[in-house]
Chains A and B, each alone.
Chain A
Amino acid sequence: MSWELFADPSLFRLAVAMAVPLVLASAGEVLMERGGILNVAVEGMVTLGAAAAFLAGFATGSTWVGFTAAAAAGVLVASVLAHYAVVWRQEQVTVGLTLYVLCLGLASLLYRVVVGVRLSPPRVETLQPVSLPVLSQVPVLGEVLFRQHALVYLSAAVVAAAHVLLFRTALGLRLRSVGENPVAADTVGVDVFRLRRAAAAAGGALVGLAGASLPFTLTGTFTEGIAGGRGWIALMLVIFGRWTPAGAAGGALLFAYVEALQFKLAMTSRAVPPQFLQMLPYLFAVAVLVRAYRGAQAPGALGKPYHREARA
């Protein structure tokens, strides 16, 4: 086995494309968790986003309607979670797990109702690669980064925007203060409830878009279990990235690289059992998480309901 295998440009190109759903979902989760809302329904929301995107795109023939439907589905589910967490001050993990199951069932039901039983799978057009002028001609990097579909570029922009918003703007400071110490934020006039709901909605939209990226960039159709655990991985990436969009995106690229590598290794090395290679991305995730969790500091009020009248 040659070491060149690990530096194969086609491997990096595949990893960048495959990282998109992880990047979007983890960026959405960072926004929510920075505001103090722990959303464990990500996997279900990604699945529901994929179903909503596919069905809307299939029914109308429009990719953009599909993306809008996915974002709307994400906002809806996140708003339900935020309402339970912010207004009714319910246990967020319990509500999140309930929503996770609800989303999986709803995605399946919607698909059955709209599509029914077919011998030929319905499909939507997938986004084709767009070569960026000049940049796509750069050796190796051009192929890896600048001959990708539009959602790759959009994901990079989303990560940059979320990072700047959180760490370079007054709004980001207020959001972080709401997630760290809502009592202190409230005393200086920050509307904790409104900001938490807004962060949840924005995060939910990104998680929904992560779902939409699966049928619109990778498969052209919806299948049950299409999320394939990517929502759970996104939750892990938030910790890996220490609650920063850029850090989570870096983790997403690493995970996608290891995921793509398993298929390269499977073709070249017959000595390693395929079952072990299939475990590789998840072993990597566990190993990295153990390492990354050391010293990681979650937002102080993450998962805790804020009650203005409560006594300390």
Chain B
Amino acid sequence: MRRVMWLLLVSVAVAAGLPSGAAPARPRMAMILPGVIQDADFNAVGYQALKEVQATTGVQTAHSEQVAVADAERVAREYLSAGYSIVAFHGGQYLTIVQKLAPLFPDATFIMESSGQIPNLPANVWNIGRKFYEGFYVLGVLGALATRSNKVGYIAGIRLPDFVASLNAVFQAVAKYNPRAEVLYTFVGDQNDPVKARQAAESQIAAGVDFIVISVNLGTVGVIEAARAARRPVLLTTFYTDKSSYAPQHFTASLLSNFGKPYVEVVRQILAGRRSGYYEMRPGAGFGLTPPKNVPPEVSRRVQEVWRAVVLRQERIEEVTDRIVERR
């Protein structure tokens, strides 16, 4: 009897020491990024969000940088076959990849980003809708009120729906708050080419622009250099991260993005068993505005009033993503 008791005790102890195959393993999450995480911009804030997810939820994370759309499916499949159950695509360009992969991997959950609600997404997809244009509307108001030459510039990279909507929002803001001003815009064809961005900025400044709304990523540094080299004061705004320390005398306000908030919330929902849904990033929910600088106090006050109105959805802003509607 004593021997039997002893064997039972040893068996229980051994069983307790073994890794439990039956217990549910903590999910692993991979993020696919279009650029390098050193960009101090869109990819850096995506990477920061991933680290925040790891720190707050305990999910093990991995990431791949500089993944072109053509490569995204292969990279995602590698993560899925390696046992990652959550795959996030940081960027609006991966929609078709998610739509293709999600039905093929029903046990995995996908997180994608877009400009808003997308109908008929698979049942294992979370969509983070980014309403950049509402934030850019406020930057347009700032430009309209701060320009002295009545020429507001807008520099974007690729003609994506997000950026078209943002340009249209700037047009609406300028038309409403300073009808005498005009908007000059340039799509340079690359979000991360500072040389092209600088050329575009120099052309706009030479045409009389004294306020530039920046909608490029790493191209921002080129615009900053153009503003610094200009003979008359040129004011700038930027987004994603605060780059005002770069040129304190030129920057007015930054539209900040906190992707950590939506990603942490979405992953928590996934861990709780809810495998699809929609999270909207907009002013007050993932987007913030730094207090305007280098402008008269009344301009700063007015802009912050408009920001609050946008947060509360009291300001009417039309979202046009498929064409540029110039307003005078």
Contact A121 B246 (CB under 8 A): yes
Give residues of chain A (84-137) contacting chain B, Cβ–Cβ below 8 Å. Answer: 108, 111-112, 115-121, 123, 126, 128-129
Which residue of B has the minimal Cβ distance to A17? B202
Is the C-beta of B218 less than 8 angstroms from some C-beta in chain A? yes
Query: Could you say which interface size class chain B belongs to?
Result: 35 or more
Is the C-beta of B159 less than 8 angstroms from some C-beta in chain A? yes
**What is the CA–CA distance of A269 and B34 in the complex, to the nearest angstrom?**
31
Residues of the B chain whose Cβ atoms lie less than 8 Å from the Cβ of A221: 194, 221
Binary flags per residue of A192-225, CB closer than 8 Å to B gives 1, else 0: 0000000000000000000000100011110111
The smallest beta-carbon distance between B101 and chain A, in angstroms, is 27
Binary flags per residue of B194-231, CB closer than 8 Å to A gives 1, else 0: 11101110111011000000000010011011001100
Instruction: Please give 9 more A-B residue pairs, beta carbons under 8 A apart, in addition to A10-B203, A278-B188.
Output: A121-B39, A121-B243, A126-B225, A129-B229, A220-B224, A221-B194, A266-B203, A267-B203, A270-B326
Is the C-beta of A263 less than 8 angstroms from some C-beta in chain B? yes
Is the C-beta of B121 less than 8 angstroms from some C-beta in chain A? no
Is the C-beta of A14 less than 8 angstroms from some C-beta in chain B? yes
Is the C-beta of A226 less than 8 angstroms from some C-beta in chain B? yes
Contact of A14 among B189, B192, B199, B242 (CB under 8 A): B199
The smallest beta-carbon distance between A6 and chain B, in angstroms, is 13
Contact of A121 among B40, B66, B200, B203 (CB under 8 A): B40
Residues of the A chain whose Cβ atoms lie less than 8 Å from the Cβ of B48: 119
Contact B38 A120 (CB under 8 A): no
Which residue of B has the minimal Cβ distance to A111? B38
Q: Which of A111, A117, A259 has the most CB of B within 10 A?
A: A117
Which residue of A has the minimal Cβ distance to B241? A119
Residues of the A chain whose Cβ atoms lie less than 8 Å from the Cβ of B39: 121, 223
Binary flags per residue of B166-196, CB closer than 8 Å to A gives 1, else 0: 0000000000000000001111110011111
Residues of the B chain whose Cβ atoms lie less than 8 Å from the Cβ of A32: none
Is the C-beta of B81 less than 8 angstroms from some C-beta in chain A? no
Residues of the A chain whose Cβ atoms lie less than 8 Å from the Cβ of B38: 111-112, 115-118
Query: Could you say which interface size class chain A belongs to?
Result: 35 or more
Is the C-beta of A8 less than 8 angstroms from some C-beta in chain B? yes
Give residues of chain A (218-267) contacting chain B, Cβ–Cβ below 8 Å. Answer: 218-221, 223-226, 228, 259-260, 263-264, 266-267
Give residues of chain B (246-263) contacting chain A, Cβ–Cβ below 8 Å. Answer: 246
Contact A223 B203 (CB under 8 A): no
Across chains A and B, the number of contacting residue pairs, with CB separation under 8 Å, is 114
Is the C-beta of B36 less than 8 angstroms from some C-beta in chain A? yes
Contact B45 A120 (CB under 8 A): no
**What is the CA–CA distance of A218 and B195 in the complex, to the nearest angstrom?**
6
The smallest beta-carbon distance between A51 and chain B, in angstroms, is 12
Contact of A263 among B66, B186, B241, B245 (CB under 8 A): B186
Contact B195 A226 (CB under 8 A): yes
Residues of the B chain whose Cβ atoms lie less than 8 Å from the Cβ of A18: 195, 199
Residues of the A chain whose Cβ atoms lie less than 8 Å from the Cβ of B44: 117-119
**What is the CA–CA distance of A218 and B197 in the complex, to the nearest angstrom?**
10
Residues of B within 8 A of A (CB): 36-41, 44-45, 47-48, 66, 159, 184-189, 192-196, 198-200, 202-204, 206-207, 218, 221-222, 224-225, 228-229, 241-243, 245-246, 326
Contact A123 B222 (CB under 8 A): no
Which residue of B has the minimal Cβ distance to A125? B228
Q: Which of A117, A223, A264 has the most CB of B within 10 A?
A: A223
Contact B242 A219 (CB under 8 A): no
Q: Say yes or no: A264-B193 contact (C-beta < 8 A), given A120-B241, A120-B245, A121-B40.
A: no
Contact of A214 among B186, B195, B243 (CB under 8 A): B195
Residues of the A chain whose Cβ atoms lie less than 8 Å from the Cβ of B36: 108, 112, 224
The smallest beta-carbon distance between A248 and chain B, in angstroms, is 20
Contact B194 A266 (CB under 8 A): no
The smallest beta-carbon distance between A47 and chain B, in angstroms, is 12
Q: Say yes or no: A219-B40 contact (C-beta < 8 A), given A120-B242, A228-B193, A275-B189.
A: no
29 CB contacts below 8 A, A to B, read A10-B202, A10-B203, A14-B199, A14-B202, A18-B195, A117-B37, A117-B47, A118-B38, A119-B45, A119-B48, A121-B40, A121-B41, A121-B218, A123-B246, A219-B225, A223-B192, A223-B221, A224-B192, A225-B193, A226-B194, A228-B193, A228-B196, A259-B199, A263-B186, A263-B188, A267-B207, A270-B326, A278-B188, A278-B189
Residues of the B chain whose Cβ atoms lie less than 8 Å from the Cβ of A119: 40, 44-45, 48, 241-242
Residues of the B chain whose Cβ atoms lie less than 8 Å from the Cβ of A259: 199
Contact B228 A126 (CB under 8 A): yes
